[in-house]
Amino acid sequence: MPAEKVLFVCIGNAGRSQMAQAFAERAGFEARSAGSHAESHLHPEVVEVMRELGIDLSDRSPHQLNDDDVEWAELVVTMGCGDACPVLPGKRYVVHIMEADAYAEYSPFVHSGRYNLFGA
Protein backbone atom coordinates (compact mmCIF):
# COMPACT_ATOMS: atom_id res chain seq x y z
CA MET A 1 0.00 0.00 0.00
CA PRO A 2 1.36 3.47 -0.84
CA ALA A 3 2.73 5.46 2.07
CA GLU A 4 3.08 8.74 0.24
CA LYS A 5 1.34 11.82 1.64
CA VAL A 6 -0.37 13.64 -1.21
CA LEU A 7 -1.87 17.14 -1.12
CA PHE A 8 -4.28 18.15 -3.90
CA VAL A 9 -4.68 21.89 -4.36
CA CYS A 10 -7.13 23.79 -6.54
CA ILE A 11 -8.75 27.20 -6.22
CA GLY A 12 -11.98 26.58 -4.30
CA ASN A 13 -11.45 23.09 -2.82
CA ALA A 14 -15.11 22.49 -3.60
CA GLY A 15 -14.80 20.06 -6.51
CA ARG A 16 -11.84 18.45 -8.24
CA SER A 17 -9.34 18.51 -5.35
CA GLN A 18 -11.93 17.01 -2.98
CA MET A 19 -12.61 14.26 -5.53
CA ALA A 20 -8.91 13.65 -6.01
CA GLN A 21 -8.40 13.36 -2.26
CA ALA A 22 -11.23 10.83 -1.98
CA PHE A 23 -9.90 8.71 -4.86
CA ALA A 24 -6.37 8.83 -3.43
CA GLU A 25 -7.64 7.75 -0.01
CA ARG A 26 -9.54 4.90 -1.61
CA ALA A 27 -6.28 3.83 -3.30
CA GLY A 28 -4.46 3.76 0.04
CA PHE A 29 -2.67 7.11 0.04
CA GLU A 30 -2.68 9.53 2.94
CA ALA A 31 -4.29 12.55 1.32
CA ARG A 32 -5.45 16.07 1.98
CA SER A 33 -6.94 18.74 -0.22
CA ALA A 34 -7.09 22.51 0.02
CA GLY A 35 -7.97 25.60 -1.96
CA SER A 36 -6.04 28.79 -2.59
CA HIS A 37 -9.38 30.63 -2.15
CA ALA A 38 -11.56 28.05 -0.40
CA GLU A 39 -15.29 28.23 -1.04
CA SER A 40 -17.94 27.88 1.68
CA HIS A 41 -19.23 24.42 0.66
CA LEU A 42 -18.65 21.58 -1.79
CA HIS A 43 -20.45 21.71 -5.13
CA PRO A 44 -23.64 19.64 -4.73
CA GLU A 45 -22.98 17.96 -8.09
CA VAL A 46 -19.64 16.70 -6.79
CA VAL A 47 -21.23 15.21 -3.67
CA GLU A 48 -23.90 13.55 -5.82
CA VAL A 49 -21.48 12.10 -8.38
CA MET A 50 -19.16 10.76 -5.71
CA ARG A 51 -22.13 9.19 -3.86
CA GLU A 52 -22.98 7.36 -7.09
CA LEU A 53 -19.43 5.96 -7.00
CA GLY A 54 -19.85 4.83 -3.40
CA ILE A 55 -17.87 7.67 -1.82
CA ASP A 56 -19.58 9.90 0.73
CA LEU A 57 -18.33 13.50 0.75
CA SER A 58 -21.36 14.92 2.56
CA ASP A 59 -19.40 15.59 5.76
CA ARG A 60 -16.53 17.42 4.04
CA SER A 61 -16.06 21.13 3.66
CA PRO A 62 -13.53 23.22 1.73
CA HIS A 63 -10.24 23.91 3.48
CA GLN A 64 -8.12 27.04 2.99
CA LEU A 65 -4.57 26.16 1.93
CA ASN A 66 -1.86 26.95 4.47
CA ASP A 67 1.87 26.29 4.78
CA ASP A 68 1.27 23.42 7.24
CA ASP A 69 -0.57 21.50 4.51
CA VAL A 70 2.37 21.84 2.14
CA GLU A 71 4.90 20.97 4.85
CA TRP A 72 2.90 17.79 5.66
CA ALA A 73 2.85 16.60 2.03
CA GLU A 74 5.48 14.57 0.22
CA LEU A 75 3.80 15.24 -3.12
CA VAL A 76 1.77 18.35 -4.01
CA VAL A 77 -0.56 18.10 -7.00
CA THR A 78 -1.70 21.53 -8.14
CA MET A 79 -4.91 21.70 -10.12
CA GLY A 80 -5.24 25.18 -11.58
CA CYS A 81 -4.28 27.34 -8.59
CA GLY A 82 -1.31 28.94 -10.36
CA ASP A 83 0.88 31.30 -8.35
CA ALA A 84 -1.40 31.00 -5.30
CA CYS A 85 0.11 27.60 -4.48
CA PRO A 86 3.09 27.88 -2.13
CA VAL A 87 6.33 26.25 -3.19
CA LEU A 88 8.60 24.87 -0.49
CA PRO A 89 12.05 23.39 -1.10
CA GLY A 90 12.33 19.62 -0.88
CA LYS A 91 8.76 18.90 -2.04
CA ARG A 92 7.77 17.16 -5.23
CA TYR A 93 5.22 19.05 -7.29
CA VAL A 94 2.99 17.98 -10.14
CA VAL A 95 1.08 20.54 -12.13
CA HIS A 96 -2.10 18.85 -13.29
CA ILE A 97 -3.13 20.11 -16.72
CA MET A 98 -6.91 20.44 -16.84
CA GLU A 99 -8.79 19.65 -20.00
CA ALA A 100 -10.79 22.65 -21.23
CA ASP A 101 -14.10 20.86 -21.51
CA ALA A 102 -17.32 20.53 -19.59
CA TYR A 103 -16.03 17.51 -17.65
CA ALA A 104 -12.75 19.01 -16.44
CA GLU A 105 -14.23 20.04 -13.08
CA TYR A 106 -15.28 16.46 -12.39
CA SER A 107 -12.44 14.39 -13.81
CA PRO A 108 -9.34 15.00 -11.68
CA PHE A 109 -7.37 12.13 -13.15
CA VAL A 110 -7.51 12.98 -16.83
CA HIS A 111 -4.06 11.83 -17.86
CA SER A 112 -1.88 14.84 -18.54
CA GLY A 113 1.06 12.73 -19.70
CA ARG A 114 3.22 14.06 -16.87
CA TYR A 115 2.46 11.80 -13.92
CA ASN A 116 0.14 8.91 -13.35
CA LEU A 117 -0.56 8.94 -9.62
CA PHE A 118 -1.92 5.41 -9.36
CA GLY A 119 0.39 3.67 -11.84
CA ALA A 120 -2.44 2.57 -14.13
Catalytic residues: 10, 81, 85
Long-range contacts of the stretch 103-110 (C-beta < 8 A, 24+): 104/16, 105/15, 105/16, 105/43, 105/46, 106/15, 106/16, 106/19, 106/45, 106/46, 106/49, 107/16, 108/8, 108/16, 108/17, 108/19, 108/20, 108/23, 108/79, 109/20, 109/23
Helix (H) or strand (E) holding 23: helix 16-26
